Amino acid sequence: MSSGVAPLAVKIDTEMKDRIKRLADSKHRSSHWLMREAIREYVEREERREALRQDAVRGWQEYQETGLYVSGEEVTDWLKSWGTAKEKAVPECHK
pTM, whole model, 2 decimals?
0.73
67 CB-near residues (< 8 Å, 6+ apart): 95
CA distance linking residue 80 with residue 90, whole number of Å: 12
pLDDT at 2: 64
DSSP secondary structure string for all residues of 48-64: HHHHHHHHHHHHHHHHH
pLDDT at 3: 76
Which residue ranges in the chain fall short of pLDDT 70? 1-2
Beta bridge partners of 69: 94
